[in-house]
Amino acid sequence: MNKNILKLIAIFVMCFMICGVLVACAGETGPKGDKGDKGEQGIQGVQGEKGETGAQGDKGDKGDKGDKGDAGEDGRGIASAVINENGELVLTYTDGTSETLGRVEGAVCDAHTWTEIKVSDLNGSHYALRACTACGWAEIACAHNILKTPVVTPATCTTPEITTVECAGCGEPVSITETAPATGHSYPTFVEGSDEWTLCANDTTICDCEWERVYSAQCLNGCGEEKLEVGTAVGHVYGAWEPTIPTPGYNPCTWVPVEIRECTACKHETCFESREIGSPKGHSWGPWSITTAPTVDAAGEAVRVCNDCGLEHAEGVEKLVLPALDPTSADYVYTVEIPDTCTTDGKANYVYTYTDGTTVKVNVVLPAHGHSVDDTCTYSVTTLPTAESEGVVKVNCAECDTTLELAIPALDPMYIGKVYTIVYGDCVDPYDEYTIVLTDKNEEVSGAIVVNFAINGGYVHDEKPAKEDCHRAEGVDKIYYVYKCSQCGNWIVAYYEPKV
C-alpha cells in the first residue's frame, strides 16, 4: 500500500479520534462558566484565532453557570472533521459553523505549523491539543497525566473559595472549582456608645441634643468595608422656668408676660421653651377728639389717645374715619337740638357709635332759613305798579309775625304771560283780577309767592289827541296814528286808514 495513503488514513483516524475527544470533552463548556466575559477560553478551532481552551468558561458573558456553553461567546466543540472534494480538511463545530484548515496533499509536513487548541469537559478538566495549519495533522499536545498539588484561594467577604489544579507538564489549569461560598461581611452587634462603634462627627449647624447620632464600624474580617448605624438623639434637658424682663421703652399696654427655660445640656442659643403667663393689660382710652370735621361732601377723622402709653408709643393713638354727614345714613343717629328759625341759627348733632360702644358726637349749625311766604299769607298793596316802576305789597311771614314788603313787578304788557295778562292797547281795568309773582323787596324772603289780586283804582287811557298830534306809522296795508298812554305807557291806536 502506498505510504502516502497510509499517512492519509492515519490522519483521518487521528482526526476522528480528536473529534471524539473534542465532542466528548468540549461539546459543552465548563459546568460553572463563572464570569463568562466574551468566552475567551472557548474552543477556538484549529486556527485558534479567538482564544484558548475555555478553561471552565472563565469570562463568559454572565452565562448561567456556563451550562452547555450557552453563555460562552466562542465556547463550541468539533462536531465532525472531513476532507472535502478539494482535499481540504474541514472542521464543523457544535454551533453549526465550519472552518477549512488547509489541503492535505502527500506526506505529512516535516515541520508543522501548529495551532494550539484548548478545550474543557463538563467536569472542569482541561486538554491541550494542537493541529498543523499546513497539513491538518492534529495531536494531543499534553495529556495532563501529571498534576500539581491543588492551590486553594481562600474565600473572602465577597468572593468564594476557589481550588485550582494545574498540569505539571504544560502549566495549564486542569480544573478550577468553587469549593466554598463567600463568607460575607461580619460586623459587631450594634450597641450605641460601645467601643466597637465609633461616633461620627456632627454637623455643627445642628444642635447636639436634637441630632440623631450616627455610628460606624468596620468589617471584622478585615476587608475594610464600613457599616453605619443611626442611634438616637439624647434630647434636651431643660432647666427651671425664668420670667422675662421688659426691655426699655416697651409698651405697657400691649406687653405680654412670658417666661422661658433653657437647655442645660447644649446651651444652644435657639434651644429654649417659652410660655405666656398672663395677658396684655390693654389701653386706657381717653375721649374721642375730632381732628377733621366731616361735611356733607367729605369724610372726617377722630382720634383718641391712651392715658397710659400715648405719650411714648404711636400704638397709643387710635384713629377713626367719620363718614360724610347724612341725616338718613345708618352710620349716624341724627338729632336736632335747637331748630333754626327765620332769623336765628339752630343746632343739630350726628352721633357715631364705635365698635367698643363709645361714641363720637359731631355738632353742626343749622343756619337761619329766613322768612317765607305762601298762599295762606295775607297781603295788601300799598303802592300800585306803573309801566316805569314797581309797586309794593305788604305781606306777613308764613312762620312768624314779621311784616314783609314785597315788590309788585312794573307793568309790562309787551311781555305777555310773565307777570300780567294784559291785552295790548288796553289800560288797567280796576275790576279785573291779575296774577303776579311777589318777590322780596327787602331781601328777607327765602321764596316767592304767586297771588291773585285787583289793583285798587285802576287806570284809564288818556283821551285821544287830534289826528295831527298822533304819531304816524305805516303798516302792511294800513297807516296807523298812535299815541302813548301816560298811565300804562302803552301805545294806543287812535286812527287808521287804508294805504293807497
Residues 58-78: tens digit of each pLDDT: 444 444 444 444 444 545 666
Which pLDDT belongs to residue 5? Answer: 36
Per DSSP, which regions of 173-241 are E strands?
A: 173-180, 198-199, 214-218, 226-230
What mean pLDDT is predicted for residues 196-206?
86
pLDDT for residue 94 is more than 80: no
Which pLDDT belongs to residue 50? Answer: 40
**Which residues are bridge partners to 439 per DSSP?**
407
Query: Out of 34-38, 41-45, 385-389, which region has the weakest mean confidence (pLDDT)?
Result: 41-45
C-alpha span between 107 and 94 (Å, rounded): 30
Write the CB contacts of 482 (distance below 8 Å, at least 6 apart in sequence).
Answer: 470, 471, 473, 491, 492, 493, 494
Q: Which amino acid is at 368?
A: A
Mean pLDDT of the chain: 75
Residues 298-335: tens digit of each pLDDT: 999 999 999 888 777 777 888 999 999 999 989 999 99
- Of the pLDDT bands very low, low, confident and very high (cuts 50, 70, 90), residue 260 is very high
What mean pLDDT is predicted for residues 193-206?
86
Residues 109-158: tens digit of each pLDDT: 777 787 877 666 555 555 667 777 777 677 666 767 788 899 999 999 99
Give the DSSP H/E element, type plus range, for residue 152.
Answer: strand 151-153
Give the DSSP H/E element, type plus range, for residue 111.
Answer: none
| Alpha-carbon distance values, 279 to 250, 252, 258, 259, 282 (Å) | 15, 11, 9, 13, 9
pLDDT for residue 12 is more than 60: no
Bigger pLDDT: 456 vs 262: 262
pTM assigned to the model: 0.37
Contact 410, 420 (CB under 8 A): no
Range among 161-170, 211-220, 457-466 with highest mean pLDDT value: 211-220
- Of the pLDDT bands very low, low, confident and very high (cuts 50, 70, 90), residue 401 is confident
Residues 364-391: tens digit of each pLDDT: 999 998 888 877 787 777 887 766 777 7
Bigger pLDDT: 262 vs 85: 262
